[in-house]
Structure 1
Amino acid sequence: MTDAAANDAPAVRLAGVRLDRGGRTILSGIDLAVPRGSITAVLGPSGSGKSTLLAALTGELAPAAGTVEVLGQPVPRRQRELLALRKGIGVLLQGNGLLTDLTAAENIALPLRTHTRLPREVIDRLVEMKLHAVGLRAAADLYPRELSGGMARRVALARAIALDPPLMVYDEPLTGLDPIASGVIMNLVSELNDRLGLTSIIVTHHVHETLPIADRAVVIANGRIVFSGTPDELQASDDPLLRQFLRGEPDGPIAFDSAPRAEVA
């Protein structure tokens, strides 16, 4: 594929993908295209396979069928090529993944020191810029234990963008955050996507906090994609499954129990 064609291709494309874990099919018939420069919300109830989908994007899980392309190329199987691709994917984990014995600045510097040969003074300047981007320049010398939940999530976000990846993936970014911190994170995701020209995929079950900043919405349930379109189209849908998910109703097409419930006489 030429450079021009690669730039025109979606940032992520899945075609006819089936994903298995432990001999069990988690997702099947997955067709998805994520436009470059967009924010796509991948929504679904807990256990619906959202994290499994993420594992396919980062190459942790090879598809049992179909193809997965990221940044214009098939996700490679060989370790060296896979590591090269992963440098272009920033991942914000729901648990932050900060190293407790390193300061905020040292955590952000880690990928720069691991994957580049930049001099110390350049890395220090880049770290300062990333902290500024998430509004935490004053927190450079604080350790993770000294940070609030929202601050720790922002430090993790600064680390995720340290290598200026063109693709950002957020795995349940609002887990454990209060409404104010959640709003701050969502605003940062939107601002960084626009300012840095990123493509962002937000995997979450926090519907109402995420849809306002999303360009596209994808809903996963019952092992497949049940909706793909704009947030407005999702909100306007009268599909019973989508209404159940959006309203948080316990009964409906999305089963709450893992096994069929016995008939009650």
Structure 2
Amino acid sequence: MTNETPIVRLNHLRLDRGGRAVLRDIHLDVPRGSIVAVLGPSGSGKSTLLAALTGELAPAAGSVEVFGQAVPQGRRALLELRKGIGVLLQGNGLLTDLTAAENVALPLRAHTNLPDAVIRQLVLMKLHAVGLRAVADSYPRELSGGMARRVALARALALDPPLMIYDEPLTGLDPIASGVVMELVKRLNDTLGLTSIVVTHHVHETLPVADHAIVIANGGIVFSGTPAQLEASEDPFVRQFLNGEPDGPIAFDAAPRNSEAA
């Protein structure tokens, strides 16, 4: 596999939920080392796309390739693939009865046979990478929302995955914490040689760190290009989304909502 091979490739992808097409004819190449923003209003299918990338949802048509191979359907092969994908969930997913360090250690305990002393050192390194080594022994309830999000990021990085997927990473964060998290996404991507896909509706906080952006609406990709091209676009779909206009070509209430298509 050459360096030119995209780390993620979607080709003629169609994704169905509940017997209806949520996304259709999706094409996307994610180059190695890049940060790609997947933007769109709530209910547009961003999380459905994420489910396809992690193998939770099989394509109804077309293909999903990660690391140069089709996402497998077999449980064992899929688990192996997922070791190379770090996912930061929108709700953090931290276990409240475990300390920050114990939360970060979970993937290492589940997928390696490393001694406790080595795991402790690795955990401290990951917490240091997100600027939170000092809170290693604190519980999630003792952390601010932004700090808890960074602990969850440290956990997602525990196995040194080459690909990071961020699912609405700024949900519930104030503007300062949002800025800290997005700057951290950029810095980690650069220093650790990662590739990142940021699934979000927070446009103005995400575009400054992104190399490429796509906008999903009405069941497909309505824009694909650089952040500068997105900001300059006169496309009515793009303008409606960027400006938060209730009326326009993006039909928010044209069909019954499927909560899983958010």
In the superposition, the TM-score normalised over structure 2's length comes to 0.96
Alpha-carbon distance in 2 for matches of 1:22, 1:9: 33
* Corresponding residue SS for 2:123: helix
Alpha-carbon distance in 2 for matches of 1:117, 1:73: 27
1:257: Cα distance to partner? 2.3
Partner of 2:8: 12
- Seen in structure 2, the aligned counterparts of structure 1 residues 243 and 127 have a Cα distance that, compared at 3 Å, is same
1:195: Cα distance to partner? 0.4
1:72: Cα distance to partner? 1.1
Question: Where do 5+ consecutive residues of structure 2 fail to align?
Answer: 257-262
Alpha-carbon distance in 2 for matches of 1:257, 1:27: 16
1:119: Cα distance to partner? 1.1
1:190 aligns with 2:186: yes
Task: Please point out which of 195, 201, 206 is paired with 2:202.
Answer: 206
Deviations 1:132-166 (Å, cap 9, x if unpaired)? 00010110011111111000000000000000000
Deviations 1:153-210 (Å, cap 9, x if unpaired)? 0000000000000000000000000000000000100000000000000000000000
- The structure whose Rg is larger is 1
Alpha-carbon distance in 1 for matches of 2:8, 2:153: 21
Task: Please point out which of 169, 182, 204 is paired with 1:173.
Answer: 169
Alpha-carbon distance in 2 for matches of 1:200, 1:215: 10
Alpha-carbon distance in 1 for matches of 2:179, 2:67: 29
Partner of 1:91: 87
Deviations 1:55-110 (Å, cap 9, x if unpaired)? 00000000000010001111000000000000000000000000111000000001
Runs of 4+ with >2 A deviation: 256-260
1:259: Cα distance to partner? 4.8
Partner of 1:113: 109
* Corresponding residue SS for 1:69: strand
Alpha-carbon distance in 1 for matches of 2:195, 2:84: 11
Alpha-carbon distance in 1 for matches of 2:136, 2:230: 41
Count, aligned residues: 256
Alpha-carbon distance in 2 for matches of 1:162, 1:93: 15
The 5 A counterparts of 1:130-149 are 130-149=126-145
Alpha-carbon distance in 2 for matches of 1:27, 1:117: 40
Q: Identity of aligned pairs, percent?
A: 79
1:51 aligns with 2:55: no
1:258: Cα distance to partner? 3.6
Task: Please point out which of 189, 194, 217 is paired with 1:221.
Answer: 217
- Superposed CA RMSD: 1.0
Task: Please point out which of 14, 22, 27 is paired with 2:23.
Answer: 27
Partner of 2:250: 254
Alpha-carbon distance in 2 for matches of 1:124, 1:259: 50
Letter in 2 for 1:117: N
Partner of 1:159: 155
Partner of 2:259: none
Alpha-carbon distance in 1 for matches of 2:69, 2:163: 13
Letter in 1 for 2:121: R
* Corresponding residue SS for 1:8: coil
Alpha-carbon distance in 1 for matches of 2:245, 2:182: 25
Letter in 2 for 1:97: G
* Corresponding residue SS for 1:200: strand
* Corresponding residue SS for 2:23: strand
* Corresponding residue SS for 2:250: coil
Partner of 1:125: 121
Alpha-carbon distance in 2 for matches of 1:36, 1:259: 37
Partner of 1:77: 73
Alpha-carbon distance in 2 for matches of 1:71, 1:206: 27
Question: Where do 5+ consecutive residues of structure 1 fail to align?
Answer: 261-265
1:256: Cα distance to partner? 3.0
* Corresponding residue SS for 1:60: coil
